[in-house]
Structure 1
Amino acid sequence: MTSKLSRRSLLQVTTAAVGVAGLLACVRAAPPIPTSSLFDVKRFGAKGDGRTLDSPAVNAAIAAAAAAGGGTVYFPPGRYLSASIRLKSNITLYLEAGAVIEAVDASVARYDLPEPNEAGGNYQDYGHSHWQNSLIWGIGLDNVAIVGGGLIHGKGLISGHDKYTGNYTDKPDQPGEGDKAIALRECRNVTLRDFSILHGGHFGILATGCSNMLIDHLTIDTNRDGMDIDACNNVRVTHCSLNTPWDDAICLKASYGLGRIQHCENITISDCMVSGNFDEGSLLDGTFKRSAPEYRSGRYGRIKLGTESNGDFKNITITN
């Protein structure tokens, strides 16, 4: 370990790993985390120097933690250049304050190719129908978390949208491009807490068919959708701040991306700030800059339900 986690940080890691169901019990009596369950990415070769491609080392740390039965993959302060990071079950990514995971351009390193999706890929745009072509992705996982005060910067991700013309590009221009910051499909017991996303590509967060999910105290300042919650159940979104001047902030869907009709149900969104009036990045840096009106969009939703949906919406609560 190059640095020690604070007592509060250890509590956050523990609660994230347990998941939504055990959150309250964990807060009341958080057990200590043994040092052996912490996997510092620098011990696996990551440099965090803003010059070295660190995703191979990060994936090696995740694989080692998974082989040990689970653990916390720890990012000390630094700038970690990365292509696809592959989550596994029982893994927490902990981004220390000052740690930045920065998506590289596909010319530097190729992202994982989008998986085939013949059953569900014909009824919504390409970005909603694939998950592997992302900066951080997981499919069919249990007990996963991304927590901590760091930043995910999708600098090299494509958005599929020209903000000046309004035109959409349905598919990547070339194989190996990444278009989402975080993509999760059919994952259970998920916690996303305390970090920030800048310039997240097509989606800052795309969660499809996920259950028991807590999204708490995130700041998302991005060039397209902040978060899409698609065909999910038992999801809480709390105390998040989003600025998405060129697309939707929080979007609930029940698409056919899974190749079947699945409802979006038992969703609570509370105590969030959603905006589309500020230039990308100016929520995170606190300047709240407004560009010329002709370059701001009033067409998109702050909280929106229904586009490209086949299933129902049940028990949706939006407050404050």
Structure 2
Amino acid sequence: MALTRRTLVQAGIGAPLLAACAHRPTPHPARHVRVEAPFDMPGITVPDFAASRHFPITDFGALPDNQARTSAAIARAIDAAHAAGSGVVVVPPGMWLTGKIHLKSNVNLHLARGATLLFSSTPADYLPAVPTSWEGIECYNYSPLVYAYDCENVAITGEGRLKARLDVWQLWYARPKPHLDALIALNAMAVKGVPVVERQMAYAGADLRPHFVQFNRCRNVLVEDISIDDSPFWVLHPLMCRDVVIRRVKVRAHGHNNDGVDPEMSENVLIEDCVFDQGDDAIAIKAGRDQDAWRIGVPCRNIVMRRCRIRNGHQLAAIGSELSAGIENVFIDDCHFERGEVAAKTALMNLLFVKTNERRGGFVRNIFMSNITATRIAGAALSVETDVLYQWRHLVPTYERRLTAIRNLNVRNVAVDEARSLCAISGAAGMPVRKVSLRNVRAGKLLGAPVTNSNVEGFSIA
């Protein structure tokens, strides 16, 4: 299914925030990025703001150390840039306290070198609740710190920094019973097909942490040169987006669920020349969870990650476990893992990790990884697990059993100093993993058997 505006709106809520970004003026200046891949990778269109008018937030009343004034000024500057048809909202050097930021079409949020946007950790600053998702299930929750909904031609650029205060969010990293009860309730609403607008999760005790940056149902997205420190939840989350480029971004976030980039049900995504220093996966490619994703029916496809460095993280590239709408055409190339300053706390497990379970359904196909180097990893160059449920194993039962079809996994030219194995695949007995190829995958030291596979058909290694 192609990601048209109509399908995106029909897939979700269709709703209240459409007016914020639905204005469609004359075509915006654009740049076209061509990407080589082992599959038919379409060109990617990103906005070009080179000739756009600048809107410094200080012209709209922003004051250092004054969160209320700065938040209001950023919102007014975004409104003005949007009304002008195109504009660059400039955050000048200095420390600027702010609450949530909601982008609009044809707007570039630009952080000058030496500028830091320091985001509040007061949950009330991220209300009212907005349409978003939690681990693959749609809901209304606290606004992401930076949020764009149904926008086109949006960007975050510059050599400045986005930083999250963690005072409250880190308390929410724990998962006490009220939080787990909220997850059970949200899952039940998805299973029963409760309308998304009725899935209101921003209540005391639920503690569903917001994403740092979420582009939700957007087109032509550019994130370039910025640094991001810390995060309540996933750091960069393109959800049901088309044409996304994330380049030369530095992410350092070691909190719970702090993936670097989570492209979900999106297509035509390029992630290049980035540095990831994570408490979770560097990149985690997703496609929604269970009944919600089957309803939406939008796969994640045409994802390229290249020339990135991973200083810490769980996986270099994870596929899933939220993948129920399907994932295809992924290319990870020319990336390097190096042990960073907190390597003892965050051990890289696998270079490519496909994870699913009996509830997900969907598919994974045409996945390519090549030209990767790493120091020491605790797992394998390629790992596939088909029984990954985490806390959900005991929270809710399997309402509907659907296995995931996994095929055509290709790993080439990988050199690891130390690993547990080269390949570890645990396929489902009722649906074996098919067509797996490893070529020139080497480890200086192996702590276990080179290959430990079960339920695999068409495996080759050379």
Q: Which runs of 5+ in 2 are unaligned?
A: 1-27, 36-47, 184-200, 315-338, 372-462
Taking the aligned partners of 2:30 and 2:242, their CA distance within structure 1 comes to 11
SS of 1:88's equivalent in the other structure is coil
1:55 corresponds in structure 2 to: 71
1:264 corresponds in structure 2 to: 300
Taking the aligned partners of 2:141 and 2:351, their CA distance within structure 1 comes to 23
Taking the aligned partners of 1:133 and 1:31, their CA distance within structure 2 comes to 26
SS of 1:50's equivalent in the other structure is coil
2:157 corresponds in structure 1 to: 147
**What does the per-residue CA deviation read over 1:155-206, in whole Å, with 9 as the maximum and x for residues that have no partner?**
147264249x9xx865667399862210111100000000010002201111
The equivalences for 1:106-185 within 5 A come to 106=122, 110-115=125-130, 124=135, 129=139, 133-156=143-166, 158=169, 160-162=172-174, 174=204, 179-185=210-216
Q: Give me the CA root mean square deviation.
A: 3.6
Count of residues in Structure 1 that have an aligned counterpart in Structure 2: 277
1:13 corresponds in structure 2 to: none
Taking the aligned partners of 1:31 and 1:116, their CA distance within structure 2 comes to 28
Cα displacement (A) at 1:84: 1.0
Cα displacement (A) at 1:51: 3.9
Q: Check 1:133–1:52 CA distance in 2 against 1; reply closer, same or farther (3 A cut).
A: closer
2:32 corresponds in structure 1 to: 21
Residue 85 (structure 1) aligned with residue 101 (structure 2): yes
**What does the per-residue CA deviation read over 1:222-281, in whole Å, with 9 as the maximum and x for residues that have no partner?**
021111110110000001110113x22110001146751211111111011123269xxx
Is the contact between residue 116 and residue 160 of structure 2 (CA under 8 Å) also seen in structure 1? Answer: yes
SS of 1:262's equivalent in the other structure is coil
Cα displacement (A) at 1:154: 1.1
Taking the aligned partners of 2:356 and 2:139, their CA distance within structure 1 comes to 14
1:219 corresponds in structure 2 to: 250
Taking the aligned partners of 1:60 and 1:208, their CA distance within structure 2 comes to 26
Q: Check 1:129–1:31 CA distance in 2 against 1; reply closer, same or farther (3 A cut).
A: closer
Is the contact between residue 98 and residue 118 of structure 2 (CA under 8 Å) also seen in structure 1? Answer: yes
1:253 corresponds in structure 2 to: 286
Taking the aligned partners of 1:19 and 1:236, their CA distance within structure 2 comes to 16
Farther-moved stretch of structure 1 (310-319 vs 177-186): 310-319
**What does the per-residue CA deviation read over 1:31-90, in whole Å, with 9 as the maximum and x for residues that have no partner?**
9626xx11111100111x234431111011000111111211111101111111110000
1:198 corresponds in structure 2 to: 229
SS of 2:127's equivalent in the other structure is coil
Taking the aligned partners of 2:142 and 2:361, their CA distance within structure 1 comes to 23
Is the contact between residue 252 and residue 304 of structure 1 (CA under 8 Å) also seen in structure 2? Answer: no
Q: Check 1:302–1:228 CA distance in 2 against 1; reply closer, same or farther (3 A cut).
A: farther
Whichever of the two has the greater Rg, that structure is 2
Q: Give the counterpart letter for 1:250 in structure 2.
A: I
Residue 238 (structure 1) aligned with residue 269 (structure 2): no
1:27 corresponds in structure 2 to: none
1:43 corresponds in structure 2 to: 59
Residue 74 (structure 1) aligned with residue 90 (structure 2): yes
Residue 33 (structure 1) aligned with residue 51 (structure 2): yes
Q: Check 1:40–1:176 CA distance in 2 against 1; reply closer, same or farther (3 A cut).
A: farther
SS of 2:73's equivalent in the other structure is helix
Cα displacement (A) at 1:290: 2.9
The equivalences for 1:266-305 within 5 A come to 266-276=302-312, 288-290=340-342, 293=344, 296-298=345-347, 304-305=353-354
Q: Check 1:263–1:313 CA distance in 2 against 1; reply closer, same or farther (3 A cut).
A: farther
Q: Which is bigger in relative contact order (C-alpha 8 A, separation at least 6)?
A: 1
TM score, norm. by length of structure 2 = 0.52
Taking the aligned partners of 2:96 and 2:349, their CA distance within structure 1 comes to 32
1:6 corresponds in structure 2 to: none
Taking the aligned partners of 1:141 and 1:46, their CA distance within structure 2 comes to 25
Q: Check 1:312–1:82 CA distance in 2 against 1; reply closer, same or farther (3 A cut).
A: farther
2:443 corresponds in structure 1 to: none
Taking the aligned partners of 2:71 and 2:156, their CA distance within structure 1 comes to 16
1:207 corresponds in structure 2 to: 238
Q: Give the counterpart letter for 2:85 in structure 1.
A: G
Identical aligned pairs, as a percentage?
25
Is the contact between residue 107 and residue 153 of structure 2 (CA under 8 Å) also seen in structure 1? Answer: yes
Q: Check 1:149–1:18 CA distance in 2 against 1; reply closer, same or farther (3 A cut).
A: farther
Q: Which runs of 5+ in 1 are unaligned?
A: 1-16, 25-29, 279-286
Is the contact between residue 277 and residue 290 of structure 1 (CA under 8 Å) also seen in structure 2? Answer: no
Q: Give the counterpart letter for 2:128 in structure 1.
A: L
SS of 1:59's equivalent in the other structure is helix
TM score, norm. by length of structure 1 = 0.73
